Amino acid sequence: MSGGTSAKSARIKRIQTVALVLLVIAGLVNYLDRSTLSIANKSISQPIITAPFSALRDDTHVSSRNATCMALPTNQSIAPLRNEHMKTLNASGLPLKAGEQTLLQANEEQEFLPIYSYAVITDSEEGLILVNVNTLADGDPRNNNLKRAVTWNPNGVLKGARHITLGGHYAYIAADAGLVVVDLADPLHPALKATVALSDVRGSALQFRYLWVTTARGLEVLDVTDMAQPRLVEGATVPLVDARRVYVARTYAYVRPRRTAWSSST
């Protein structure tokens, strides 16, 4: 593509998409909504445009003091509300009666974990913020209002929170205290599971049994076979100067420092 479009916002830190809406985390005003629906629409030259919501009715902005990162449980197109609705129907799609098999069971589909309804945000001052984003995928254009469902930071454990990686219903959060593990099996009641004392945790990436973490020491590896209790793998540290973000693909880890990117074979 020879050209493109951009949507400007101060201090953009992370972007993700849900239901063709681009969710943007910025430092001061968060969830600046942008629609990706027209990316492939040649008649309007592939722009990312302001999401098609009414400013008089809808509000897809969630403000916080200093948002630093955001994660969704999956980047797949999912419909948790459809999953819930299937529990109320029988195999023929009619209202469920006592003793009948649900449509979800008849289709041999699994139930969605509750966390799949939420976007999870870190804020360096407020800690952990959860926002229910199902409203963006329910097919109703009249209720696109995002609100906080939970703000969580007991005893300041997430002070300085700056990055989050989700694995199932576990959140691995980089904070001043180290790598903080939070169980989000019940999203409205987060539970602290562990704090791994690492020096200046900057970012992380999960692949299979291992969590790759950038710290002041470089790239460190944690065994997360027990996802609630990560264990540092001794001798697996790769010394790097000022390692920041990390992305793992197959047997390579791509690490971003402030200025130059390295790759390291895993």
Dump pLDDT digits (tens) for 104-121: 999 999 999 999 999 999
The more confidently predicted of residues 141 and 208 is 208
For residue 148, give both structure tokens: 């906080």
The more confidently predicted of residues 145 and 148 is 148
Per-residue pLDDT tens digits for 8-63:
555 566 666 554 455 655 543 344 444 444 444 445 444 555 555 666 777 878 88
Residue 30 makes CB contacts below 8 A (sequence gap 6+) with: 24, 61, 62, 63, 64, 67, 70, 121
Q: Kindly give the residue spans of alpha helices, DSSP state H, lying in 58-127.
A: 80-86, 103-106
Residue 129 makes CB contacts below 8 A (sequence gap 6+) with: 62, 64, 67, 120, 121, 122, 123, 148, 150, 151, 152
**What average pLDDT does range 174-201 have in this prediction?**
98
Per-residue pLDDT tens digits for 232-248:
999 999 999 899 999 99
| Distances 84 to 88, 109, 114, 121 between C-alpha atoms, Å | 7, 11, 10, 24
The more confidently predicted of residues 153 and 39 is 153
For residue 176, give both structure tokens: 């001043």
Among candidate residues 49, 46, 51, the one with its CA nearest the CA of residue 61: 51
Query: Cα 66 from chain centroid?
Result: 17
- Residue 67 pairs with which residues in a beta bridge? 123
Among candidate residues 21, 204, 210, 48, the one with its CA nearest the CA of residue 119: 21
| Distances 38 to 21, 54, 143 between C-alpha atoms, Å | 11, 17, 21
pLDDT band at 143 (very low <50, low <70, confident <90, very high): confident
- State residue 128's pLDDT score: 97
- In the chain, list all ranges with CATH 2.40.10: 201-266
For residue 237, give both structure tokens: 């540290």
1-73+116-197 classified as CATH 1.20.950.20: no
Q: Strand runs (DSSP E) across 154-266, as ranges? A: 163-167, 170-175, 178-183, 191-196, 203-207, 210-215, 218-223, 231-232, 238-239, 243-249, 252-257, 262-265
- Residue 204 pairs with which residues in a beta bridge? 213
3-state class (DSSP) for residue 47? coil
**What average pLDDT does range 70-93 have in this prediction?**
90
Report yes or no: 151 and 121 within 8 Å, Cβ to Cβ: no
- State residue 38's pLDDT score: 44
- State residue 56's pLDDT score: 72
Phi, psi dihedral angles at 81 (to 5 degrees): -65, -35
Whether residue 173 has pLDDT greater than 90: yes
Report yes or no: 14 and 25 within 8 Å, Cβ to Cβ: yes
- In the chain, list all ranges with CATH 2.130.10.10: 1-73+116-197
Burial class of residue 115, CB neighbours in 10 A (0-12, 13-18, 19+): buried
Q: Work out the mean pLDDT of the chain and round it to a whole number.
A: 84
Q: How far apart are CA 54 and CA 49, in angstroms?
A: 14
What distance, in Å, lies between the first and last C-alpha atoms of the chain? 34
201-266 classified as CATH 2.40.10: yes
Phi, psi dihedral angles at 134 (to 5 degrees): -60, -30
Whether residue 79 has pLDDT greater than 80: yes
